[in-house]
Structure 1
Amino acid sequence: MGDEEQKLTERGRGRPKTDPRDAETRLRLIRAGLEIATERGYVATGVGEVLRRAAAPKGCFYHYFKDKEDFGLQLIDAYEEFFAKMLDRCFENRALSPMNRLKAFVDAAKAGMEKHQFRRGCLVGNLGQEIASLSDAMREKLIGVMEDWQGRTAGCLALAQDMGELSVSRNVDELAAFFWIGWEGAVLRAKLELRADPLDSFAKVYFHLLKK
C-alpha cells in the first residue's frame, strides 16, 4: 500500500461529515474500479484514483469496502453479473440457432472492445495475469467465474448438438473450456495491438474446428 492509500485508510476509519452510504456512490466506485482495472490491471488500481474518477468523498471508500481486497472481490462480482447478462442475451436468443448465439456473443464482446478503442480488456483475464499478487479468495472467485462461463457455453454447444449443428461425438465441456482459453488470449492480443484482428482470427479458426 502506497503513502496515499495509507493516508486514505487512516482517514477512512472515522465517519466522514457527509454520509456516503448511498447506492449511487458505491456504484460509481465500482464502475470507476472496473474502468481502471480493465484498462491497466488490478494492482495498478489505486484507491485515490478510484475516488477521483468516481468523484467521491475521500473518506467514503472504507465505508463500502473493508480494504482493497474486498474491493477487488466486489469488482469481480459486479463484472460477473454484467457478463452473465451479456451471455444470457446471446445464449437465450431463440431467434438464433445455438451456433449463431455463440457467434453473437463474439460479435457483442468485440463491439464492446471497439467501443473503448481496445484499451479495456476482460477483468477476469487481467486478474489472471496478476495472480501472484492476488489472495486465495480472489483466485478461487476467478476460477468460479470461469467455470460458470464455461458451463453456460457448454450448454449452448449441447443445444447445438440437439439441433444437429454440432456432432454428438464432440465433448462440449472440452470445447467450452477451449473456447475460453483461446478467447481470453485473443482479447489480450487485441488489447495489445489495439485492433480486432486477433478476435476475428480466433473466432474463424474455432468455428471452423466445430464443423469437423
Structure 2
Amino acid sequence: MNRGRKPEHCRDSILEMGMELFDRNGYHGTGLKEILDACQVSKGSFYNFFGSKEDFAIEIIRHFQARAFDCWNLQADQPPGCHAARLRHKIETEIQTSQAHCFRMGSLLANLSGEIGAASDAFRNAILGATHRILDALEQDMLQCQQEGSVRTDLDARALAELIWNCWQGALLRVQVEESTAPLSSMVQLLWERVLPPQPSPDKDAKPTP
C-alpha cells in the first residue's frame, strides 16, 4: 500500500535541506542518496517534485531568490535616513546574520557559478537569470540614491550595481576560505565611504600643485 508522503516532507522543506547540503558539500559533493536520507523521503517522493538533481538545484536557486527578494523588499525602507544609508544598513545586517536569505542567496550563486555554471545551458541560464534580477534590483537602488544625491552620478546606475555585486561575490569567496565575514564588512565600508559617495567636480581653474 502506498503510504504517501508525510505532511512535513513538503517541497519547501526539501529545498531548504538541499540548500544546506549544497552550502556544506557543494553540488558535486552532495549525492542524491544524501539528499533523500537528510530529507527522509523516498526516491519516488523526490521525483514527484523534481525531475532530476539538476532540476532540484535550479529550483533551489529560484526558491531562495524569491524568498531573498521578499525579505529585502520588506525591510529595505525600515531604517531612517537616505536610501544609500538604508541600503548599507540592510547589507550590514545581512552580513551580521549570515544565515539570512539574501546572504545565503549570494553565497549559493557564488558557489554554483564556480562549480557548475558552465556544466549545462540550464544551469547557466538559471544562474544568469538570478544574477540579472539581482542587478536589476541593485540598479533601481542606485538610481534612487543618485536622484537623492547620496551616490555619485558620473557613473551610471547599472555600472554601480555591477560593481557592488562583483565585489560582493568576490568577498564571499574569501569569507569561505577565511571563515570570517570581515572581507564583506571591509568591502561595504570601502564602497560606501570611498567609492559610491558623490565625487567632487574637478576645478578647471585650479592650478596644478608644483
TM-score, scaled relative to structure 1 = 0.81
1:37-76, CA deviations, whole angstroms, 9 ceiling, x for partnerless residues? 1222222222111122222234311111111111111111
What is the one-letter code of the residue matched to 1:98? H
Contact residue 158 and residue 172 of structure 1 kept, 8 A: yes
Q: 2:112 aligns with which of 127, 135, 146?
A: 127
1:73-121, CA deviations, whole angstroms, 9 ceiling, x for partnerless residues? 1111111112212331343447442112221232232123278xx9997
Residues matched between the structures, number = 195
What is the one-letter code of the residue matched to 1:209? V
Paired position in structure 2 for 1:4: none
What is the one-letter code of the residue matched to 2:64? Y
What is the one-letter code of the residue matched to 1:200? S
The worse-fitting range, judged by mean Cα deviation, of 51-60 and 87-96 is 87-96
What is the one-letter code of the residue matched to 2:87? L
Taking the aligned partners of 1:119 and 1:153, their CA distance within structure 2 comes to 17
1:163-182 paired onto structure 2 within 5 Å: 163-182=148-167
Taking the aligned partners of 1:120 and 1:190, their CA distance within structure 2 comes to 14
How big is the alpha-carbon RMSD for the aligned residues of Structure 1 and Structure 2? 2.6
Counting aligned pairs with the same residue, the percent is: 25
Task: Tell me whether 1:209 sits opposite 2:205 in the alignment.
Answer: no
What is the one-letter code of the residue matched to 2:110? G
Taking the aligned partners of 2:8 and 2:132, their CA distance within structure 1 comes to 29
Q: 1:151 aligns with which of 136, 159, 175?
A: 136
Taking the aligned partners of 2:30 and 2:153, their CA distance within structure 1 comes to 45
Taking the aligned partners of 2:143 and 2:117, their CA distance within structure 1 comes to 35
Task: Tell me whether 1:83 sits opposite 2:71 in the alignment.
Answer: no
Paired position in structure 2 for 1:45: 30
SS in structure 2 opposite 1:113? coil
1:181-209, CA deviations, whole angstroms, 9 ceiling, x for partnerless residues? 11011112112111121111111111120
Which 5+ residue runs of structure 2 have no aligned equivalent?
200-210
Task: Tell me whether 1:55 sits opposite 2:40 in the alignment.
Answer: yes
The worse-fitting range, judged by mean Cα deviation, of 139-148 and 52-61 is 52-61
Which 5+ residue runs of structure 1 have no aligned equivalent?
1-15
TM-score, scaled relative to structure 2 = 0.82
Paired position in structure 2 for 1:74: 59
The structure carrying a bigger helix percent of its residues is 1
1:101-149, CA deviations, whole angstroms, 9 ceiling, x for partnerless residues? 221232232123278xx99971111100113663211111111111111
Taking the aligned partners of 2:59 and 2:27, their CA distance within structure 1 comes to 12
Q: 2:18 aligns with which of 33, 40, 45?
A: 33
